[in-house]
């Protein structure tokens, strides 16, 4: 096993290391006016700036800038960089306006820089309580900001929507968008349409009921709220779309004391068509995943499509009124969200000019829909999958019955797994090539229905699956075999032909979001700690930069005083990093997190500091003395309550504590003070006393000691294999 623990310097207080400095360059916006609806609608013609999450309302992530191009990208160099004061997943898209760059980081912090020189202007920390981390399925990430007038808006992990003065970083208003007694989190970027700030939330792994809401940009007052799943108490006075949804569920499960919220969280994607005046939202998975528990039929197995899970829904941004929906995965039971990036474009299909909406959701199919009506145009697999054999002419998947675990009650190895064939990492669309670039991957999972499952809304995942089913045995041969089935791809997808024009393979699955440019380039960072440029037409690699850290965030491009820049947040994290067996991540060498903002230009001459020394700590656990029964009980609780952050089978990932090496492992009282009493709450390790008593907590310790001893026996051999 490749068991390395990284000792990285974590900078506090916004400490910055800067590359070169240049003189402050002038304003791009005449008169310094604020962001208006006209500016956002015509954002495509304003190539200097990047004013909203996907650059334009169509979310194409295409920059028309061409100063950096196929011919000269070899001269691209680092111009400035800024070290960040957090070392968790960095997923945000920066915004650029007025020669200034604004970005969010892990823990929902915001920073402003001079976009040309890197001079820090202000920063803002919303002081998210550390224990909020226990409500986040997939790391303490934040994906970005929205701009309107002189304000910037962003969501905090603990569910607040904050308006800041763009010039000073001062808070203008702050409003709570969720019920904090439940496991809601906000990780996605807001969007602004006509003075309304629209934001969703996450938490479907825990048991929440999903919705998206709009707030007045001036006052912060809530304008409307659109729930994506029924409450279970619908009657003829309820909104029609929710009455229709209730028909597709066993709504008894949604009400009562043991009820859980059904899921359908809108935790990432949105897009807007100003001509049709339609806001498109991507809706997430069911809660619990296992439909047999979420919506049982008379025979106790899963029943019903469960609208609007795994759907794209079109709504009116002014009122939140429902217009149409398309469900990608009816009766979802595999965490197949349709929250993945939505891209709008116009193109000719079978001789007809179509206004389309495109998405590569987790379920592995690339969808082209008519965005005016929601009509299904086409759908083909962009990655390996086995849960369906295709999509019929009505746009309904043709399922493989063996993978319908809520019907069979039996475990099945399903592809894609819960992280999907594509996750939140944004795609990019190149209008000249008519190609969509997809950061895709292949990683299957064993979905094993949990017998006698009961929800626990206090702590831990509520998915109705046995989370230990994917634990890898302490056998290097098997580990390497499983590793061999996991890979990443950058796929250049032709949405008309519905096939790949080219693709590039990556060793790891969890790679960066994308940017396409008018210079004929596609930029992407990756799990292997590099940031690269490819020829948009052919996929040839043209440039590569050693980033010293895994890169998952999407790059942007902008210009200041006529000079083009490319910027990207670097820093490893997100769902694969926290929830996946560290042994599998190690396939490509353990991935460090050195969180930084990197900015490049032609001839840039800044250099990163030396790569820090990464210290390996050998495993040194106490002897395992507990009974097999105690270890098994501890293992079951570990899988449900601990594994998503500390790694399946206690094999820690790269940056959250690897419990096999914990200093508390040898001491019963210290262990209980952390896991039961919550002494490390402020660091993000909340108390589990509502779910686990002291005896349970001690059994978890016995399990981790047992696992550490098993892996110690492998250690010598593992080092050689994993460092290859």
Choose among Ca ion, ligand PQQ, none what residue 203 binds, the Cβ cut-off being 5 to 8 Å by kind. Answer: ligand PQQ
Compute CA distances 495 → 324, 374, 519, whole Å.
22, 16, 21
Choose one: 221-229, 283-291, 584-592, 693-701; the region binding Ca ion (CB under 5 A). Answer: 283-291
**Mask of contacts with ligand PQQ, 242-281, x by CB under 6 A?**
-----------------------x-x--------------
Nearest to ligand PQQ of 138, 516 (CB atom): 138
Q: Taking the mean position of all CA atoms in its chain, how far away is CA 15?
A: 26
Instruction: Give the separation between CA 721 and CA 724, rounded to whole angstroms.
Output: 6
Nearest to Ca ion of 210, 513 (CB atom): 210
Check residue 419 for interaction with ligand PQQ (CB under 6 A): yes
CB of 250: closest distance to ligand PQQ in angstroms? 20
Check residue 91 for interaction with ligand PQQ (CB under 6 A): yes
Nearest residue to 463 via CA among 226, 709, 290, 245? 290
Q: Work out which of 3, 95, 204, 358 binds ligand PQQ, going by CB under 6 A.
A: 204
Choose one: 44-52, 198-206, 529-537, 562-570; the region binding ligand PQQ (CB under 6 A). Answer: 198-206
Whether the upstream peptide bond of residue 308 has omega within 30° of 0, thus cis, is yes
Check residue 144 for interaction with ligand PQQ (CB under 6 A): no
Check residue 582 for interaction with ligand PQQ (CB under 6 A): no
Choose one: 135-143, 309-317, 377-385, 489-497; the region binding ligand PQQ (CB under 6 A). Answer: 135-143
Compute CA distances 38 → 44, 56, 133, 705, whole Å.
11, 12, 38, 61
Q: Is 335 a catalytic residue?
A: yes
Cα 292-134-633 angle, rounded to 5 deg: 60
Instruction: Give the separation between CA 719 and CA 619, rounded to whole angstroms.
Output: 12
Instruction: Give the separation between CA 306 and CA 285, rounded to whole angstroms.
Output: 10
Q: Work out which of 185, 248, 285, 457 binds Ca ion, going by CB under 5 A.
A: 285
Three-state SS for 55?
A: coil
Nearest to Ca ion of 133, 560 (CB atom): 133
Closest CB to ligand PQQ belongs to which residue? Answer: 574
The neighbour count for residue 669, using CB atoms within 10 Å, is 8
Check residue 141 for interaction with ligand PQQ (CB under 6 A): yes
Check residue 285 for interaction with ligand PQQ (CB under 6 A): yes
CB of 218: closest distance to ligand PQQ in angstroms? 27
The neighbour count for residue 273, using CB atoms within 10 Å, is 17
Check residue 85 for interaction with ligand PQQ (CB under 6 A): no
DSSP H or E run through 709: helix 694-712
Instruction: Give the separation between CA 304 and CA 33, rounded to whole angstroms.
Output: 51
111 and 102 in contact (C-beta within 8 Å)?
yes
CB of 265: closest distance to ligand PQQ in angstroms? 3
Choose one: 9-17, 199-207, 243-251, 656-664; the region binding ligand PQQ (CB under 6 A). Answer: 199-207
Nearest to ligand PQQ of 245, 702 (CB atom): 245
Nearest to Ca ion of 184, 534 (CB atom): 184
Check residue 359 for interaction with ligand PQQ (CB under 6 A): no
Q: How many residues does the chain have?
A: 724
Nearest to ligand PQQ of 202, 520 (CB atom): 202
Check residue 329 for interaction with Ca ion (CB under 5 A): no
Check residue 187 for interaction with Ca ion (CB under 5 A): no
CB of 106: closest distance to ligand PQQ in angstroms? 10
Check residue 339 for interaction with Ca ion (CB under 5 A): no
Compute CA distances 632 → 644, 645, 700, whole Å.
18, 20, 9
CB of 420: closest distance to ligand PQQ in angstroms? 7
Check residue 151 for interaction with ligand PQQ (CB under 6 A): no
CB of 293: closest distance to ligand PQQ in angstroms? 16
Q: Work out which of 302, 525, 574, 589 binds ligand PQQ, going by CB under 6 A.
A: 574
Choose among ligand PQQ, Ca ion, none what residue 657 binds, the Cβ cut-off being 5 to 8 Å by kind. Answer: none
Choose one: 416-424, 481-489, 592-600, 698-706; the region binding ligand PQQ (CB under 6 A). Answer: 416-424
Choose among Ca ion, ligand PQQ, none what residue 359 binds, the Cβ cut-off being 5 to 8 Å by kind. Answer: none
385 and 416 in contact (C-beta within 8 Å)?
yes
- The sheet carrying 365-370 orders its strands as 342-349, 352-359, 365-370, 376-381
Nearest to Ca ion of 78, 266 (CB atom): 266
- Beta bridge pairs of residue 704: none
Check residue 442 for interaction with ligand PQQ (CB under 6 A): no
Instruction: Give the separation between CA 162 and CA 456, rounded to whole angstroms.
Output: 31
437 and 427 in contact (C-beta within 8 Å)?
yes
657 and 663 in contact (C-beta within 8 Å)?
no
Choose one: 13-21, 203-211, 518-526, 558-566; the region binding ligand PQQ (CB under 6 A). Answer: 203-211
Q: Taking the mean position of all CA atoms in its chain, how far away is CA 323?
A: 27
Three-state SS for 50?
A: strand
Check residue 363 for interaction with Ca ion (CB under 5 A): no
Restricting to residues 634-663, name those near Ca ion by CB under 5 A. Answer: none
Please enumerate, as own/partner, the contacts of 430-433 that have beta carbons within 8 Å and a separation of 24 or more: 430/62, 430/516, 430/522, 430/536, 431/60, 431/62, 431/345, 432/518, 432/520, 432/536, 433/492, 433/501, 433/516, 433/536, 433/537
Instruction: Give the separation between CA 192 and CA 42, rounded to whole angstroms.
Output: 14
Q: Work out which of 153, 382, 424, 545 binds ligand PQQ, going by CB under 6 A.
A: 424
Q: Work out which of 99, 144, 203, 282 binds ligand PQQ, going by CB under 6 A.
A: 203
> Which of the residues 83, 98, 123, 335 is marked catalytic?
335
Choose among ligand PQQ, Ca ion, none what residue 462 binds, the Cβ cut-off being 5 to 8 Å by kind. Answer: none
Total residues contacting ligand PQQ by CB under 6 A comes to: 22
Strands (E), 202-251: 211-216, 222-227
Phi, psi of 656 (to 5 degrees): -95, 155
Positions in the binding site for ligand PQQ (CB under 6 A)? 91, 137-139, 141, 185, 187, 202-205, 265, 267, 284-285, 335, 337, 419, 423-424, 574-575
Which residues of this chain interact with Ca ion, rule CB under 5 A?
Answer: 204, 285
* Residues annotated catalytic, as ranges: 335
């Amino acid at each position: 096993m490749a068991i390395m623990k990284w000792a990285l310097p974590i900078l506090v207080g916004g400490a910055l290391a800067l590359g070169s400095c240049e003189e402050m360059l002038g304003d791009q916006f005449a008169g310094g006016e604020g962001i208006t609806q006209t500016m956002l609608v015509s954002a495509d013609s304003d190539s200097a700036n990047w004013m909203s999450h996907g650059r334009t309302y169509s979310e194409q992530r295409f920059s028309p800038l061409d100063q950096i191009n196929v011919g000269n990208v070899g001269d691209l160099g680092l111009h400035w960089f800024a070290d960040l004061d957090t070392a968790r997943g960095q997923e945000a898209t920066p915004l650029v306006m007025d020669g200034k760059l604004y970005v969010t980081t892990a823990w929902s912090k915001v920073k402003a820089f001079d976009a040309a020189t890197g001079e820090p202007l202000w920063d803002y920390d919303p002081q998210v309580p550390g224990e909020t981390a226990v409500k986040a399925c997939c790391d303490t990430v934040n994906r970005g900001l929205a701009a309107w007038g002189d304000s910037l808006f962003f969501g905090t992990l603990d569910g607040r929507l904050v308006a800041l003065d763009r010039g000073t970083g001062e808070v203008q208003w702050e409003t709570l968008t969720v019920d904090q007694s439940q496991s809601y989190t906000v990780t996605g970027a807001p969007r602004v349409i006509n003075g309304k700030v629209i934001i969703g939330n996450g938490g479907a792994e825990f048991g929440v009921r999903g919705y998206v809401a709009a707030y007045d940009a001036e006052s912060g007052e809530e304008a409307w709220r659109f729930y994506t799943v029924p409450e279970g108490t619908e009657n003829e006075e309820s909104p029609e779309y929710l009455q229709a949804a209730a028909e597709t569920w066993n709504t008894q499960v949604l009400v009562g004391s043991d009820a859980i919220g059904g899921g359908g969280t809108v935790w990432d994607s949105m897009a807007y068509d100003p001509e049709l005046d339609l806001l498109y939202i991507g809706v997430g998975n069911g809660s619990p995943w296992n439909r047999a528990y979420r919506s049982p039929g008379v025979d106790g197995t899963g029943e019903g499509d469960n609208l609007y899970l795994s759907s794209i829904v079109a709504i009116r941004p002014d009122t939140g009124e429902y217009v149409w929906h398309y469900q990608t995965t009816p009766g979802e039971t595999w965490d197949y969200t349709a929250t993945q990036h939505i891209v709008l474009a116009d193109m000719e299909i079978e001789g007809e000019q179509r206004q389309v909406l495109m998405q590569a959701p987790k379920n592995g199919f690339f969808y082209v829909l008519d965005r005016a009506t929601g009509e299904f145009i086409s759908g083909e697999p962009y990655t390996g999958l086995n849960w369906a054999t295709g999509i019929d002419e009505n746009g309904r998947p043709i399922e493989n019955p063996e993978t319908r675990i809520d019907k069979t009650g039996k475990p099945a190895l399903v592809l894609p797994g819960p992280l999907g064939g594509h996750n939140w990492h944004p795609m990019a669309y190149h209008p000249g090539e008519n190609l969509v670039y997809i950061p895709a991957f292949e990683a299957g999972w064993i979905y094993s229905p949990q017998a006698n499952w009961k929800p626990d809304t206090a702590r831990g995942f509520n998915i109705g699956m046995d989370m230990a089913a994917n634990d890898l045995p302490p056998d290097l041969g098997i580990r390497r075999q499983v590793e061999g089935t996991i890979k990443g791809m950058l796929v250049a997808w032709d949405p008309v032909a519905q096939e790949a024009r080219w693709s590039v393979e990556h060793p790891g699955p969890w790679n960066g979001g994308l940017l396409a440019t008018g210079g004929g380039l596609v930029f992407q960072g990756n799990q292997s700690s590099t940031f690269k440029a490819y020829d948009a037409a052919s996929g040839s690699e043209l440039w590569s930069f050693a980033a010293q850290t895994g890169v998952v965030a999407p790059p942007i491009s902008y210009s200041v005083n006529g000079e083009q820049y490319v910027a990207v947040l670097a820093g490893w994290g997100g769902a694969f990093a926290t929830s996946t067996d560290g042994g599998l991540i190690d396939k490509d060498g353990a991935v460090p997190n050195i969180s930084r903002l990197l900015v490049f230009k032609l001839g840039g001459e800044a250099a990163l500091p030396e790569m820090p020394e990464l210290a390996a700590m050998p495993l040194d656990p106490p002897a395992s003395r507990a009974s097999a029964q105690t270890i098994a009980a501890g293992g079951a609780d570990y899988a449900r309550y601990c594994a998503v952050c500390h790694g399946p089978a206690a094999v820690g990932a790269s940056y959250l504590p690897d419990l096999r090496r914990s200093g508390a492992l040898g001491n019963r009282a210290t262990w209980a003070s952390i896991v039961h009493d919550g002494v490390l709450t402020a660091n993000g390790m909340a108390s589990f006393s509502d779910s686990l008593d002291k005896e349970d907590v001690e059994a978890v310790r016995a399990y981790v000691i047992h696992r550490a001893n098993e892996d110690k026996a492998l250690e010598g051999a593992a080092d050689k294999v994993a460092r290859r």
